[in-house]
Amino acid sequence: MTGANFLQLILVVLILVAVGIPLFSRIPPKRLFKPLDPAEEEYKHLLVRKEEVLLAIKELEFDFKTDKISQPDFEALHHKLEEEAVGLLEKIDALEKQLKKKKKTAGAA
């Protein structure tokens, strides 16, 4: 066996050990992720939307300060975005309660 062959063999063994250890060691059985919960997914989506709407309000105010939007348009859009934000917060609250309840029930079970 030449030195190069020996080195090749070592490389193969190292790779097999590296990928094999997690498979053959006694790792307690765990899941990678929970099954998709539509309510939780919706909750995450609403949180991102909330952040986007709050950012949009800030940008709208900046656009107004820099004269890019007229007073009536600013007021109309500001109102629309505020309503959207309030609607999102209400939905987030409701979902939060629903999810907490679900967790409690699951914990009790």
Partner 1 sequence: MNDIGEFALLLALATALYGVVSYVMAFRSNRVDVYMSADKTPIIVWGCVMVSSVALWKAFLVNDFSLQYVWAYSNIDLDFFYKFSSFWGGQKGSLLFWTLILTTYMMVVHVQNRKQNVRLVPIALAVMMVITLFFLVLLNFSTNPFERLPVPPEDGRGLNPLLQNYWMVIHPPTLYLGYVGFTVPFAFATAALLTKNLDDGWIRLTRKWTLVSWFFLCMGNLFGAQWAYVELGWGGYWAWDPVENAAFMPLIVATAYLHSVMIQEKKDMMKVWNMSLVLLTFVMTIFGTFITRSGLIQSVHTFDEATLGYYFLGFLGVIIAFSISMILLRLPLLKSKNELDSFLSREASFLLNNLVLLGIAFSTFWGTIFPIVSEAFRGVKITVGPPFYNQVNVPIGMVLLALIGIGPVIAWRRSSWSNLKKNFTKPVLAAVIGAAVLFPFVPLTDKSEIFTYITFILCIFVMSSMLIEFRKGTGARMEAHGESPVSALSGMVWKNKSRYGGYIVHLGVVLIFAGIAGSQSYSTDVEKQLNIGDRFQLRGYDFTYEKLLVKEQNSTKTRVIAQLGIERDGKRVWTGLPEKEFYKGQNQPVTEVDLISTLKEDVYMILADFNPDNSSATIKVYVKPMVKWMWLGGWVIAFGTMIAVWPDRLEARRRTERLKRQEQIFMPAQE
Binding site for partner 1 (CB under 8 A): 4, 7-8, 11-12, 15, 18-23, 27-34, 40, 43-45, 47-49, 51-52, 55-56, 59-60, 62-63, 65-70, 73, 76-77
Q: Which is nearer to partner 1, 55 or 89 (CB)?
A: 55
Q: Is 24 helix (H, G, I), strand (E, B) or coil?
A: helix
Termini Cα distance of the chain: 62
Q: How far is the CB of 23 from partner 1 (least distance, A)?
A: 5
Q: Which amino acid is at 6?
A: F
Q: Which is nearer to partner 1, 45 or 101 (CB)?
A: 45
Q: Are 46 and 95 in contact (CB under 8 A)?
A: yes
- How far is Cα 98 from Cα 16, in angstroms, rounded to an integer? 47
Q: How far is the CB of 52 from partner 1 (least distance, A)?
A: 6
